Each structure stands twice: as structure tokens, then as C-alpha cells.
Amino acid sequence: MACEAWSRKLDLYVDGELAPAEANEFASHLRNCASCAADTLAKVRFKRSVALAGKHYLPSAEFRERVMKSAAAKPRRQTGWSWRILAAPALLILLISLAVSFYVDREFARRERVYSELADLHVAALASATPVDVVSSDRHTVKPWFQGKIPFTFNLPELQGTDFTLVGGRVTYLAQTPGAQLIFQMRKHEISVFIFQDRGEETAALPSGPTHAASFTVENWSQNGLRYFVVGDVNANDIEALSKLLRNAG
């Protein structure tokens, strides 16, 4: 057994961590102390055995090269990115929701703007001393009047035997686009029918179907490249009846 005074320095001596003066002193002690010499020899042998064992399982240069190439070929794991990967779907859903919300709000605002402007045109025509520029109940008179005044043509329905009477028509504008405004009378109510080319942001891709705008019922649809709007203060059934006549004529 090593001397108590030197036992604490055995590992330091074997590992070469003693100062030169202490290492020399310890070496002198070993020549005179069989116990310290035996313990020191045992530690040295153990250390060498561990070193040899490590060298026995030391990978060859070829093996190292294969491992390095394999590691380089695989994407490295990025620590700290797990939460980003998990958050990506949620972020995508949020972005889509915002985009859809923005699109819906924009489309709703555009539709309301169109309907509001049409309602204003309807009211302005009825409030005018001359609501129409061509006064006639004959469709064969009203339709030709528009030729050369608007960049398209349209058909008018035969109204005989219906509740509707054609009053006449005028040229109007929606978003600086020329179109036709026709006034129909049903009992004591006037109904405006607007016809525009179905192009541009103001008229294209508007949702078809009845709706309400500024206390008026509005029906719109697209047919043969034209966008029709029927606006009046009558019920939806009356608006639909006139709309059906126009669809069949178109």
C-alpha cells in the first residue's frame, strides 16, 4: 500500500501532472518504497491496458471516410427548429384565414359599391323630369335606339300578357363603362334594368342571385357576355318574374 503522504499524488504522477520538482522527489521515493512502487506500477499497467484497448477498437482511416461521407449525405438535424416545424401548419392556416378574410371583405365591399351605385342610378332616373331618353313601350323602337350609343346589343322580351310595361330607356354609366338602363312599370312601381358588358372588376364575377340594397331588391346574372341587373322596390317574386323574361329573350 502506498505511503499515506504520497498516495494522493499517485494518479497525478502517473498522468504526468506533478510539477517537475515534485515528480523528481516522488521518483526518488519510489526507489526506496516497495509499496508505492507496486501501486504506481499497477496504475501504469491499468492505464496502458486502457490505452491499448482503445487502440484495438480504433476505426481505420477507411472506416472514418465512409462514416464522414454518410454523415455529409444526410441532412443535419437542426436543433431548435422543432417548434418551427410544428408551428408551420398553424402559421399557414393563419395566413390562409387572413387571405380568405381579406378576399371576402374586398369582394363584399365591391359588391356593395356596385349595388349602391345602381340604386343611386335607379333613384336618380325616377327623380328626373326625363327618366328616359327614348320613350316607347315598343321593344322594336327602344332596342334600335341604343345602336351606336353603347358597344353591344341586347334583346328585349315580349311583354304582352304580362304585368310589365316598357317605359323606355337611356344610356347610363357604371364605373365609367357605358350601358343601357331600361325602365319597366309594374302596376304603380318602376323597375330599372341595367345591362353592361360583363368585363372589368365592377361587373365581372359578381355573385348571381337576388339580394337587397338600399331598400331595393336586386337580381343580377351574366348571359352572353353581358351582365344584367334588375333593381326595384317590389318583392323578390316580381323581380324574378321580370328577370326570367329577360333571360329568355337574351
34-56 and 20-32 helices, crossing angle to 10°: 120
Averaged pLDDT for residues 154-181: 93
* Residue whose grid cell is 322580351: 157
- pLDDT score of 195 more than 80: yes
Instruction: Assign domain 108-249 to its CATH architecture.
Output: 2-Layer Sandwich (3.30)
* pTM of model > 0.85: no
Amino acid identity for residue 190 in this structure: E
> CA-CA distance, 187 to 245, in Å (whole number)?
17
Task: Give the mean pLDDT of the chain.
Answer: 78
